[in-house]
Amino acid sequence: MKRLLPALLLLGLAPGASAGTIYVSNEKDNTVSVIDGGSLEVVDTIKVGRRPRGITLSKDGGQLFVCASDDDAVQVVDLATKKVVHDLPSGHDPELFALHPDGRQLFIANEDSNVVTVVDVPTRRVTYQVDVGVEPEGMAVSPDGRWAVNTSETTNMVHWIDTEKRATVDHTQVGARPRYATFSKDGRQLWVSSEIGGTVAVIDAATRKVTKTIGFKLKGIAQDKIQPVGVRLTDDGRYAFVALGPANHVAVIDAQTHEVKQYLLVGRRVWQMDLSADQKTLFTTNGVSGDVSVIDVEKLSVVKTVKVGRYPWGVAVKG
């Protein structure tokens, strides 16, 4: 056993070597853990506002935006000094957001007030707000910037915001409690997870119709405990990864055939995920066990677990 360990460690280090820096928001610690992609160890902890959930990097990678839900603010963290430099006007109870490819417009889901708030990042002003369904949650912007989509958890819909018209133009019904949405790299597909429905919908962006609904089955785990939350697609169109929440597994889906290939055991209540810049490593936040699982995308295996703060929620990898 002892002799095996160094070998395992080396395996663990190999994919991480080019993984950059990993930022993880800790919902119940009011902090962001900073993990070094090389050593896969926590090297710093940044103090942020209350109940940090969704996080995303600025286009140049110099800043981290943090939804501090209980402070009703999106905070901007300067990654050089690792300090909160200012807040963006976010609307009430921000949970998740998505940055437009122009790097300026930040689309924020305001869970308590049934609106999406669009903020112009450089001027820190609210540009406009759009009414959506009850409990808006997931946000995604298409790679060409035309669409911003929002999922509403109690209305069970995807709301399509035309970013030119600044209004919703269509609504797609999906399974119960849709939590997360992400576009494929080519912008043709939108993938949406439904936590209570227990499914992931693949939506054709052109027709805005559901073309495929993917279900999950895990031996020994009750069907109603399989609750898909985070979704990540590899840029090459090969894999879709789906975090199954309290089922404590990440589903690996063939993104072409939509077949579930396998399930990877990770920490407890797996929530959100992000890929390294080279797409070789996937990081998952495990809320209840308070750690991050590091997955080798080539081998499809968990290579390391990194302890972070209480209830890790969001994760963003800087290349």
Partner 1 sequence: MRPSAVPLLLALLLPAAAHAQEAELRIGYLTQEVEAPPSLSTPDEPVPDAGLMGARLAIADNATTGRFLKQRFELDAVTVAPDGDVETAFRDLAAKGDRFVVLNLSAAAVARLTKPAQAAGVTLLNARAPDDSLRAEGCAPNLLHVAPSRAMLADALAQYLVKKRWSKWLLVVGRRPEDALYAAAIRRAAKRFGATVVEEKRWTAESDVNRTAEAEVPVFTQARAHDVLVVADEIGEFGEYLPYRTWEARPVAGTQGLVPTSWHRTHEQWGASQLQNRFKALAHRPMTPADLDAWTAVRLVGEAAAQTRSTDPAALATHIRSPGFAMSAFKGVPMSVRPWDGQLRQPVLLAADRSLVSVSPQDGFLHPKTDLDTLGFDQPETGCKPH
By the criterion CB under 8 A, which residues form the site for partner 1? 93, 111-112, 114, 131, 133-135, 152-157, 159, 168, 171, 173, 176-177, 195-198, 222-225, 227, 246
Tokens for 33?
């853990």
How far apart (Å, rounded) are the C-alpha atoms in residues 96 and 93?
10
Phi, psi of 52 (to 5 degrees): -70, 130
Nearer to partner 1 among residue 131 and residue 298 (C-beta): 131
Query: Distance between alpha carbon 108 and the CA centroid of its chain, in Å?
Result: 13
Report the nearest approach of partner 1 to the CB of residue 307 (Å). Answer: 23
Report the nearest approach of partner 1 to the CB of residue 82 (Å). Answer: 29
Nearer to partner 1 among residue 218 and residue 277 (C-beta): 218
Q: Which residues pair with 36 in a beta bridge?
A: 21, 41
206 by Cβ neighbours in 10 Å (0-12 / 13-18 / 19+) ranks as exposed
146-150: long-range pairs with CB below 8 Å, 24+: 147/183, 147/205, 148/98, 148/100, 148/107, 148/116, 148/118, 149/181, 149/190, 150/107, 150/109, 150/116, 150/181
Q: Which residues pair with 41 in a beta bridge?
A: 36
Nearer to partner 1 among residue 177 and residue 304 (C-beta): 177
Q: Are 303 and 295 in contact (CB under 8 A)?
A: yes
Report the nearest approach of partner 1 to the CB of residue 107 (Å). Answer: 18
Nearer to partner 1 among residue 132 and residue 302 (C-beta): 132
How far apart (Å, rounded) are the C-alpha atoms in residues 223 and 244?
11
Report the nearest approach of partner 1 to the CB of residue 134 (Å). Answer: 5
Report the nearest approach of partner 1 to the CB of residue 164 (Å). Answer: 20
Nearer to partner 1 among residue 95 and residue 296 (C-beta): 95
Tokens for 186?
């080519």
Query: Distance between alpha carbon 179 and the CA centroid of its chain, in Å?
Result: 10
Nearer to partner 1 among residue 36 and residue 170 (C-beta): 170
Please, what is the end-to-end C-alpha distance for the chain in angstroms? 34
Report the nearest approach of partner 1 to the CB of residue 143 (Å). Answer: 25
Of residues 312, 222, 234, the one with CA closest to residue 266: 312
Q: How many helices (H) and strands (E) does the chain have?
A: 1, 28
Residue given tokens 């609106």 in the structure block: 115
Helix (H) / strand (E) containing 16:
helix 4-16
Nearer to partner 1 among residue 126 and residue 196 (C-beta): 196
226: CB partners within 8 A, 6+ apart: 198, 216, 217, 218, 244, 245, 247
Report the nearest approach of partner 1 to the CB of residue 133 (Å). Answer: 6
Report the nearest approach of partner 1 to the CB of residue 58 (Å). Answer: 28
Report the nearest approach of partner 1 to the CB of residue 152 (Å). Answer: 8
Nearer to partner 1 among residue 21 and residue 172 (C-beta): 172
Nearer to partner 1 among residue 159 and residue 304 (C-beta): 159
